[in-house]
Amino acid sequence: MEGRSCERIFIVQRGRVKVYRTTSAGREQILESLNPGDTCACNPGTREWCCTASAEALADTTVWYLSREDYVRMVESNSKLARALNHLFAERLQNLNRLVEQVSLMDTKARLIKFLLDLQADGVAKRNKSNNVLFIPFTREEIAQRLGMVRETVARQLSQLKNAKLIDIKPKQIVILDKEGLKKFLT
């Protein structure tokens, strides 16, 4: 939980975990989703080691735990692990910078379009052979929490994109009908 002392880290063995922050009004902002092999590992460089976010399983999940002391000992004694964690932290910093940019500088339609195009490009969502059908592993609520919106805004923007014949919406799927048309909203 956010703000609590972090006495151990976890590594996702199976399932999916969201890492999020909550506003004083109770709204969640998803910072990242952890999949098998991902970790919540924080920088052990300080003695005051508090969680900066909360984590919650989104599906049946199995995690491995490692005590803070064992984690610090492993990082200090294993340069390969330290380099791998530095790489992980650099990626997280880039992702958080992108999130700040999107939430503060892009309107809701552009954020949603960028999210869909990123899913298509990154291979996060399973795709069919033509690459235009995205099998979305997130609920509309999760998408809203990732993009700093409310669920109703996501639903409204998806509906507008569908009415403009840029996408089609099916259960757990979004079909990209006009990728170039979507990209125009990002310029």
Integer Cα distance of 35 and 18 in angstroms: 9
pLDDT in tens, 54-84: 899 988 999 998 888 888 888 889 999 888 8
- So what's the pLDDT on residue 169? 93
- So what's the pLDDT on residue 101? 79
Read off the pLDDT band of 14 (50, 70, 90): very high
- So what's the pLDDT on residue 25? 81
CATH class of 108-186: mainly alpha
- So what's the pLDDT on residue 181? 94
CB-based contact 54:34 (threshold 8 Å): no
Bridging pattern class, strands 28-34 and 173-176: unpaired
Q: Which fold has domain 8-105?
A: Jelly Rolls (2.60.120)
C-alpha closest to that of 165 among 181, 151, 153, 154: 181
Read off the pLDDT band of 48 (50, 70, 90): low
Read off the pLDDT band of 30 (50, 70, 90): confident
Angle of helix 140-147 relative to helix 108-122, nearest 10 degrees, comes to 110
Mean pLDDT of 175-181: 93
Contacts of 181 (CB under 8 A, 6+ apart): 164, 166
Q: How many other C-beta atoms can be found within 10 angstroms of the C-beta atom of residue 12? A: 21
Whether residue 46 has pLDDT greater than 60: no
- So what's the pLDDT on residue 43? 56
**Residue 30, burial from CB neighbour count under 10 angstroms (0-12, 13-18, 19+):** buried
pLDDT in tens, 103-121: 777 899 999 999 999 888 8
Mean pLDDT of 35-53: 73
- pLDDT above 70 covers a percentage of the chain that reads 91
Direct distance between the N- and C-terminal alpha carbons of the chain, in angstroms, rounded to an integer:
38
- So what's the pLDDT on residue 40? 80
Distance set, CA 105 to CA 23, 69, 108, 155 (Å): 19, 40, 10, 21
Domain boundaries, the chain: 8-105, 108-186
pLDDT in tens, 135-168: 888 888 989 988 888 999 999 999 999 999 999 9
